[in-house]
Structure 1
């Protein structure tokens, strides 16, 4: 492997490490300005319950719960029956992550007979939410079923060439490729179904699991029908900062033409940093053990690092890693990889959504291909655009078009692929 190749994954790793957004100096918000103005009056008006309450409210709006707690404790020391002050104190404790104390303060407020019923109901809902949070988030189950009809211009991801010259047998001239070694176009039916759930076991701790099944039927090319089943189970811990650390185990069976061809088992560790109410930055480490049932295909181990930012409307990420055959004599099938991916979505109304995605990946194999007498080098680009229409809360109509281009220095692996599909999806 040359020095230039070794440096590229290192450069991408540095890029991933810096993928969290830089914090630039921003002008103060109106809430922060109000808090600073009241801070200037604090020394002269401290101990005035009316001022302390207003100061605490400004501190909470500015995201400074510790200042609010001190001020509200001064208010309650003089006015122990001040229900609004105790409610604000509960909110302040909740902002610091102390849900037990927040819950106790809200329960005290709910017991005040002067509290109006609508306010009491709101506080009761908050108490239930805190109970749920202290149990690790409670229980949840959701899933979907999806059926798509489409057309695939290259179901076997093969070259469009009819013949190629193999250097090892170059003296024989170009060789004709068999029908299954050339691009096959077909009409497809895709069915996928998934279910996932989580169970809170204690404060900040939960276990989760999911199952995903998929099946593709090609109208005329049964040998390339696909089936897969993926099972995932894991544990997640939410830190006081709301950031999440998780680890999961994953297993998958993949089949072609009704026969199992590969089993995968592995582990994924992930750290997710919450940036705002609608954005997060996550980094994961993955290890997968690939075992092939098909004779002649070497088993392998896959290691990957991925990192990315996601928001309510877009996401951007990257990944790098290595897939290495367990049999070192088969290193022509081993490779390093690195790439980038991005996605974007925009609502077109209350029930319609347009989205687009793109991905690029570069692969470099570790040894010369025996027949082609050189290391295989691939660069793949995937582009997609889709549309969703929600005609009931659970039912959606979907449509998608995608295009893929794999550029390879070995003609046998150079291909283009276009897919279009439309269908219906049910979510629960």
Structure 2
């Protein structure tokens, strides 16, 4: 009797282990985009695992990706009924609603997810589907946003810490100056569909920053863009005309106009790649005309999500050149940049993001020949940590700590900067 019991328990354990291995195999197949094979692995396990949120999610996803959104809806609904905060299942349920033609349910689920501070990759997917839904309905979408930010900046004017350069004492505006600051801003976004996949994307924004202890760098910034976006379930292409203008201490500082294009697409379900390009011109105020340049930029981007969409890793590689408009300008340069982001959603309300960036600038000319005999080289390093708290679907509070360091062989352009701030944003849709 005892021997029979042991054998029975062993058989049960072996069966459970085999089923667990099958679930892992199905997950691996789905990650590789082999949804039909995953479905063939999962369907024989239905009687044993139906009601298990992991199984229901995997079979629902496999059904969705093999052209059966109706059955996928039922499986994904079961997963969410067991785990209501299963964000990945909710996102794929919204996709299943969309694929089955239930646009109202899809829109409701996508909008609920959007209001829960999703990771950047998930946010892009959500916006992509909402754009597709709006396009089908030929519906104009408007978004209004107000923001306020306050904090402390150790170097509000991004200036050097040295007091003397080439035998001359630097004035206050040319030396590192710390200050508390307050920022106020607003933006408007208008999305107008032309067809099921093409829409007009118009954006306007303004921002003002006041630095009580460094008022000579108080600034006002305005920006506008007008573009076309072609959106499908698997990819997004855009072409956009962008412009901005900056005033510092009440005087014109700079203005820019550029034509930018991008194309990003799904390589795998949780991996997205993209390419981008921009050509434009930046012009400065009368006292800084020597800095006027034509700019050219190319880049590639990537974003990978994991842990059911809670985590994300992103990266970009950029290369560009600035060509001076004046023959005697020293501001021609070649640039090469790297950027890395990592984010994690602790819950639907709390998210953390870390960003690191490096920009190498190799100038064509020598600055201050009396002191230096080689062209200027700069290495700009930027690090930041941001914590977001989604108070309600319409209110977002963020805390940011950022570090910037410009390392260069020309002392007067070298600087270090630490900024910490708290911001509050309100959105209307």
Q: Establish whether TM, by shorter chain, passes 0.5.
A: yes
- Map of 2:80 onto structure 1: none
- Map of 2:143 onto structure 1: 142
CA contact (8 A) 1:136 1:206 kept: no
Shift of 1:244: 1.9
Aligned pairs for 1:279-358 (under 5 A) are 279-298=271-290, 299-310=292-303, 311=305, 313-330=312-329, 332-358=330-356
1:344–1:60 Cα change, 3 Å: closer
C-alpha separation in 2, matches of 1:124 and 1:177 = 58
- Map of 1:244 onto structure 2: 236
Shift of 1:131: 9.2
CA contact (8 A) 1:236 1:246 kept: yes
Aligned pairs for 1:10-409 (under 5 A) are 27-28=28-29, 32-33=36-37, 61=63, 63-65=65-67, 132=133, 135=136, 138-165=139-166, 174-238=167-231, 242-275=234-267, 279-298=271-290, 299-310=292-303, 311=305, 313-330=312-329, 332-371=330-369, 372-373=371-372, 374-409=374-409
C-alpha separation in 2, matches of 1:197 and 1:233 = 10
1:317–1:62 Cα change, 3 Å: same
C-alpha separation in 1, matches of 2:142 and 2:345 = 26
Uncovered stretches (5+) of structure 1, i.e. residues with no partner: 1-25, 39-56, 70-93, 107-120, 166-173
Shift of 1:133: 6.3
1:28–1:278 Cα change, 3 Å: closer
1:414 and 2:421 matched:
no
C-alpha separation in 2, matches of 1:277 and 1:424 = 33
Bigger shift: residues 359-368 or 274-283: 274-283
Bigger shift: residues 294-303 or 178-187: 294-303
Secondary structure at 1:400's aligned position in 2?
Answer: strand
1:407–1:140 Cα change, 3 Å: same
Shift of 1:58: 10
1:130–1:272 Cα change, 3 Å: closer
Secondary structure at 1:160's aligned position in 2?
Answer: coil
Secondary structure at 1:368's aligned position in 2?
Answer: coil
Cα deviation, 1:263-285, whole Å, max 9, x if unaligned, reads 21110011111345665322111
Q: How many residues were matched structurally?
A: 330
Secondary structure at 1:202's aligned position in 2?
Answer: coil
Uncovered stretches (5+) of structure 2, i.e. residues with no partner: 1-26, 43-58, 70-94, 110-129
Cα deviation, 1:378-414, whole Å, max 9, x if unaligned, reads 0011111121222222122221111111100011111
C-alpha separation in 2, matches of 1:384 and 1:59 = 35
Which has more radius of gyration? 1
C-alpha separation in 2, matches of 1:36 and 1:349 = 33
C-alpha separation in 1, matches of 2:235 and 2:189 = 21
C-alpha separation in 2, matches of 1:212 and 1:321 = 26
CA contact (8 A) 2:351 2:388 kept: yes
